[in-house]
Chains A and B, each alone.
Chain A
Amino acid sequence: MTPRLLLLAPLCIFLIIGGFLWKGLALKPQELPSVLIGQTAPPFQLSTVEDPTRHVTEALFQGHVTILNIWATWCSSCQTEHELWMQLAKKQDALFLVGLNYHDGLEDAKNWLKNLGNPYRLTLFDQNGRVGMDYGVYGTPETFIIDKRGVIRHRHVGPMDAMVWQEKLLPMIGVLENEK
């Protein structure tokens, strides 16, 4: 009987993979509720990719709506997402887009920005991923929207897409801009 059952194994494995693909199809770009929403952004002190001697803290988020985008050079979906950021940065000068380079090498990150273009005001360099951890980052890319007082208001997991940006985040940023 055993060989007969063994012959069934490929079918079973295939059906399991098929099940995942099926589920994958049904997935929607999700925003993950985060415990951090409504909380002040966790403190940090990091250097930037552009200038390793410069030190930046969470005070960076004060006084304007910040879009914090977490990315890495080893992440292929970040590359796809990057084009969108480039377009947005070109279109909207007022956008305060900050990058956080997560678990990466300084040279790699520099090359990436040099080659693909740099849409960010500045890019924080989180080499060992400690700050990402504080922000509850599971994987790249992720994007946080932080209001003028430095409070996290929204979290988007996975690559940003133009539709979500246009229909959801842009209006949200507009509302936040008008807050005191």
Chain B
Amino acid sequence: MIPELGHFALILALCLAGLQCVLPCAGIFKKNQAWMQTARSLVLGQCFFITLSFLCLGYAFVQDDFSVAYVAQSSNASLPWIYKISGIWSGHEGSLLLWVFLLSVWMLAVSLDSRRLPLIFSTRVLVVLGMIAFGFLLFLWATSNPFARFLPLSPIDGRDLNPILQDPGLIFHPPVLYMGYVGFSVPFAFAVSALWGARTEELPWAKWMRSWVLAAFGFLTIGIALGSWWAYYELGWGGWWFWDPVENASFMPWIVGIALIHSLMVSDKRGIFQSWTILLSIIAFALSLLGTFLVRSGILTSVHAFANDPKRGVFLLGFLLLVIGGALALYAVRAGLLPPRGARGRNDDAKIELFSRETAILVSTVFLLVGCATVLLGTLFPLIYDAFTGQKLSVGFPYFNAVFIPLIIPVLVLIPLGPLSKWGHNACRDILKKIKIEFIVSLVLAMLLPWIFAKTVSMGVVLGLGLGIWIGLGTFKSAFDKIRQKGFWGLSKGAWGMISAHGGMAILVIGVTLVSYYHVERDLRIKPHQVLEIADYQILFQSIEPIEGSNYIGSRGYFLVSKQGKQVADLRPEKRTFVAQGIKMTETAIDPGMFRDIYISLGDPLGGGSWSVRIYYKPFVRWIWAGGLLIALGSFLGAWGRRK
């Protein structure tokens, strides 16, 4: 009964979404205020029914209702309850429902906030969002109904959830990531609305859009960081980024998101770059949709997964073409009409000087977009190649490292220069004078520090570390200048947001550089009571014992880590075999630290009491995620600060 209720709620939500595309839209054309105002109540209704439907699916999972095909596919009775809940989004149908659910949450937030906006503008935004919701609900209903029943022969127990997915990381990673993906629909809707009315009106849409972009970007950042963290400790590979198509799908909107945030700032403060900003918001959402398409259609990893149900891919792609193609067509026709507006009115101050904050931002956004295009090319290349030659191949990390990193270096160089330069005109000499000490200090430190601590220096380390320190010092300098001017408490939330995000970027760059160049990986054959050395640490393999969990059996190794005779940590990696599917999983044990991680992962027994064990020494790896969190914090601060 409950699944049918969920299904019914989904259909009602679909109907309301259909109405939301038509009724307020007719109101806009007929200039009928009452019709326009229906948009808000329609959003409320839609949100209610989608939430209801989502809860029904959750109920079916918690109650182990295996007559529902989707539940039987991705959950079983012996699963801990928390994984039953995360089972909701572990497969295709459920994660789409999550997508739609989060879209309705964003839509509700926009509609609650819409009283600040002129009615006609907010109605347009809600109509555009309604169209997106309609498309996805139709997709769910027509091709991927999560409530479909397995009747009359319903299984007694379901399949096990893929053990890789039985992890706390998975409970939060997809919802947060999707929150970011879906969040880019809001700036997209604002951009389309601005184009829609470009002929007759001049509205400060850039100001209204900012907090939405920042919020979506913050969620996306946390989502990516969680994903990378999860891959690091759960997959047992010790890497934190693999340039795999699914990761790229989330990385591309992130890159464009950065460009969008900064270009939007220029559009807001200076009234220029308007069509660039609009284009970036369309691209950001296009990449979010593309990500959903790539991940969900299975087009890249396995053609077969997709051939099972060709309807899905065709539908998603048709939808993508309609939404993004439509928006870009509107852009082609209308973007020329967006007037450059200066802070004090039309065409005032709209000229761009060479040495100014505008130029710094413009140049960085162009580099970011080009960088994103190279990632897109690498991700889609196997597909393009296949289309031309009928052959398949895989593009790996050598391409991405070689192409993307050089493109991003100029952006990193510019990061501290942006906040230190002024809007409008700057003398080149002024900027140089402000920052020359920082420049020299970061260069010297970048050469000195590796030499003191690691005894080896290479070009890559000097470059990466130097850039990180340069961003850090430059950000510190601009924070210091601002505080001196306005006092510690006088700084706006937006300013703190910038400081946090740029500082986070500095930490991220330093972390990435040091872990890439100084990590140590050892794969060993080792017996209990043996001691081995890695970096400055001695690791004693004490013993290995059998263990048993609720749905797995396995072994646990006991390791003692010490440094110069002092015990540092006691690590217990595990090897688990999940009973239901017979899949083996490695539970790594990590001794975390601010400056290094020691990471032990248990391999297989090799006979004679010895085991294969891999031990990693990962310096500064935590800085990557810490940097990510600071960037997210900065964008949330910025989003909050804009809400007035």
Interface residues of A (CB under 8 A from B): 3-4, 7-8, 10-11, 14-15, 17-18, 20-25, 27-30, 32, 72, 74-78, 80, 90, 107, 110-111, 114-115, 117, 138-140, 157-159, 161-164
Pick from B328, B387, B586: contact of A20, CB under 8 Å:
B387
Beta-carbon contact of A138 and B394 below 8 Å: no
Beta-carbon contact of A10 and B279 below 8 Å: yes
A139 (CB) vs chain B CBs: closest residue: B393
In the bound complex, CA of A145 to CA of B141 (Å): 43
Residue of B314, B331, B383 ringed by the most chain A CB atoms within 10 A: B383
Question: Which residues of chain B from 353 to 400 have a CB within 8 Å of any chain A CB?
Answer: 376, 380, 382-384, 386-387, 389-394, 396-398
Pick from A18, A23, A32, A80: contact of B320, CB under 8 Å:
A18
In the bound complex, CA of A161 to CA of B298 (Å): 13
- Contact flag A111-B390 (CB < 8 Å), given A25-B313, A80-B302: no
**19 A–B contacts from the bound complex (CB under 8 Å):** A4-B336, A7-B332, A10-B283, A20-B384, A21-B299, A21-B383, A25-B297, A28-B307, A76-B245, A77-B302, A115-B237, A115-B586, A138-B391, A138-B393, A139-B382, A139-B391, A140-B393, A157-B392, A158-B303
Contacts of A163 in B (CB 8 A): 304
Pick from A74, A111, A117: contact of B396, CB under 8 Å:
A74
Q: Is B516 an interface residue (CB 8 A)?
A: no
B305 (CB) vs chain A CBs: closest residue: A161
Beta-carbon contact of B304 and A21 below 8 Å: no
Pick from B286, B306, B384, B394: contact of A75, CB under 8 Å:
B394
In the bound complex, CA of A75 to CA of B235 (Å): 16
Question: Which residues of chain B from 308 to 337 have a CB within 8 Å of any chain A CB?
Answer: 310, 313-314, 317, 320-321, 324-325, 328-329, 331-332, 335-336
Q: Is B41 an interface residue (CB 8 A)?
A: no
Beta-carbon contact of B304 and A164 below 8 Å: yes
- Contact flag A14-B304 (CB < 8 Å), given A115-B236, A158-B392: no
Q: Is B604 an interface residue (CB 8 A)?
A: yes
Q: Is B167 an interface residue (CB 8 A)?
A: no
Question: Which residues of chain B from 266 to 313 have a CB within 8 Å of any chain A CB?
Answer: 275, 279, 282-283, 286, 293, 297, 299, 301-304, 306-307, 310, 313
Contacts of B325 in A (CB 8 A): 11, 14-15, 18
Contacts of A111 in B (CB 8 A): 523, 614
In the bound complex, CA of A8 to CA of B332 (Å): 5
Beta-carbon contact of A139 and B392 below 8 Å: yes
Pick from A10, A28, A74: contact of B331, CB under 8 Å:
A10
Please give the distance in Å from B585's CB to the nearest CB on chain A. Answer: 11
Additional A-B contact list (12), CB under 8 Å, known A138-B389, A159-B302: A11-B325, A11-B331, A15-B325, A17-B380, A18-B321, A25-B299, A28-B303, A28-B307, A29-B303, A74-B397, A114-B604, A164-B304
In the bound complex, CA of A24 to CA of B614 (Å): 39
- Contact flag A74-B394 (CB < 8 Å), given A18-B320, A117-B584: yes
Q: Is B612 an interface residue (CB 8 A)?
A: yes
Pick from B314, B397, B582: contact of A25, CB under 8 Å:
B314
Residue of B242, B245, B391 ringed by the most chain A CB atoms within 10 A: B391
Beta-carbon contact of B304 and A140 below 8 Å: no
Contacts of B321 in A (CB 8 A): 15, 18
Contacts of A77 in B (CB 8 A): 301-302, 392, 394
Contacts of A75 in B (CB 8 A): 394, 396
Q: Is B603 an interface residue (CB 8 A)?
A: yes
Contacts of B307 in A (CB 8 A): 28-29
A8 (CB) vs chain B CBs: closest residue: B332
Contacts of A78 in B (CB 8 A): 394
- Give chain B's interface secondary structure class: helix
Q: Is B202 an interface residue (CB 8 A)?
A: no
Please give the distance in Å from A25's CB to the nearest CB on chain B. Answer: 5
Interface residues of B (CB under 8 A from A): 236-237, 242, 244-245, 275, 279, 282-283, 286, 293, 297, 299, 301-304, 306-307, 310, 313-314, 317, 320-321, 324-325, 328-329, 331-332, 335-336, 376, 380, 382-384, 386-387, 389-394, 396-398, 523, 582, 584, 586, 603-604, 612, 614
Contacts of A164 in B (CB 8 A): 304
Contacts of B586 in A (CB 8 A): 115
In the bound complex, CA of A131 to CA of B328 (Å): 48
Beta-carbon contact of B331 and A76 below 8 Å: no
- Contact flag A32-B391 (CB < 8 Å), given A7-B336, A11-B332, A17-B380: yes
Beta-carbon contact of B304 and A161 below 8 Å: yes
In the bound complex, CA of A24 to CA of B386 (Å): 7
Closest 8 interchain pairs by CB?
A139-B393, A74-B396, A158-B392, A161-B304, A75-B394, A11-B328, A23-B387, A24-B383
In the bound complex, CA of A159 to CA of B304 (Å): 9
- Contact flag A27-B386 (CB < 8 Å), given A77-B302, A115-B237, A157-B392: yes
B393 (CB) vs chain A CBs: closest residue: A139
In the bound complex, CA of A160 to CA of B242 (Å): 22
In the bound complex, CA of A24 to CA of B300 (Å): 9
A111 (CB) vs chain B CBs: closest residue: B523
B581 (CB) vs chain A CBs: closest residue: A87
In the bound complex, CA of A157 to CA of B394 (Å): 12
Please give the distance in Å from B305's CB to the nearest CB on chain A. Answer: 8
Beta-carbon contact of B523 and A107 below 8 Å: yes
Residue of B329, B394, B582 ringed by the most chain A CB atoms within 10 A: B394
Beta-carbon contact of B383 and A114 below 8 Å: no
Please give the distance in Å from B92's CB to the nearest CB on chain A. Answer: 16
In the bound complex, CA of A125 to CA of B166 (Å): 35
Please give the distance in Å from A94's CB to the nearest CB on chain B. Answer: 20
In the bound complex, CA of A4 to CA of B396 (Å): 38
In the bound complex, CA of A11 to CA of B286 (Å): 12
Please give the distance in Å from A134's CB to the nearest CB on chain B. Answer: 17
In the bound complex, CA of A12 to CA of B304 (Å): 30
Beta-carbon contact of A115 and B603 below 8 Å: yes
Beta-carbon contact of A24 and B301 below 8 Å: no
In the bound complex, CA of A2 to CA of B235 (Å): 51
B310 (CB) vs chain A CBs: closest residue: A25
Contacts of B387 in A (CB 8 A): 20, 23-24, 27
Pick from A10, A90, A107: contact of B328, CB under 8 Å:
A10
Please give the distance in Å from B257's CB to the nearest CB on chain A. Answer: 17
